[in-house]
């Protein structure tokens, strides 16, 4: 996973946490739900990138 992707995914996660927190503070259920959705999307992207990294390692192991 590239550093740029890691940074982008982490930024999306942090943005989601901020939205969720703001939703809680303002009693805005929609904003809170958007924040949770942003975090979930970020976690899925991170998991996908980790799978790609793992596949690359396996592929490289068989090259030798």
Cα separation values, 51 from 27, 32, 40, 41, 47, Å:
37, 29, 17, 15, 6
pTM > 0.85: no
- Using a CB cutoff of 8 Å and minimum separation of 24, what contacts does 44-48 make? 45/5, 45/9, 45/12, 46/1, 46/6, 46/9, 46/13
For the cut 60, the answer to whether the pLDDT of residue 1 exceeds it is no
What confidence tier does 63 reach under pLDDT thresholds 50, 70, 90? confident
> Taking a C-beta distance cutoff of 8 angstroms, is the pair 35, 23 a contact?
yes
Q: Supply the mean pLDDT for the chain.
A: 91
Q: What is the average pLDDT across 7-18?
A: 93
């Amino acid at each position: 996973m590239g550093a740029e992707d890691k940074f982008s995914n982490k930024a999306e996660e942090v943005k989601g946490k901020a939205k969720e927190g703001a939703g809680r503070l303002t009693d805005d259920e929609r904003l809170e739900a958007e924040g949770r959705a942003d975090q979930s999307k970020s976690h899925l992207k991170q998991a996908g990138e980790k799978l790609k990294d793992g596949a690359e390692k396996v592929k490289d192991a068989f090259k030798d």
